[in-house]
Amino acid sequence: MHGSRHDEAFNSLWYNKEKDCLLVGYVDEFKMACKAGQMKCAWEDIAQHIEVDEVAPLDHRLGCKHVRFETTINGTKGKGMEYNMVDYTQNCVDTY
């Protein structure tokens, strides 16, 4: 993303303060966290510099299912994400 700061300690992590977006990359996969209103613009900015596939909702990455949920903790509502690797782990057990 134009104007992004690369984190030297975490080579696959970029943060864009203007868009308040965090991007993590691994090999040829990217995952971005930002406000919904900034998401499209941020991906369009990235696509000006590298070839990217059509952006899709986050569902599965590196053998891990991403399950979104809403919760209330101590009276405060929030959103979270569960990283579910049950199928991947079962596949490993079955294979080996």
What are the pLDDT digits (tens) for 34-46? Answer: 888 888 888 898 8
In 10 A of CB 90, how many CB atoms? 10
Residue with more model confidence, 70 or 64: 70
What pTM did the predictor assign? 0.63
CA distance 63 to 83: 10
Residue predicted with more confidence, 62 or 95:
95
Asked if pLDDT for residue 6 goes beyond 70, the answer is no
Residue closest to 25 by CA, chosen among 15, 34, 37: 15
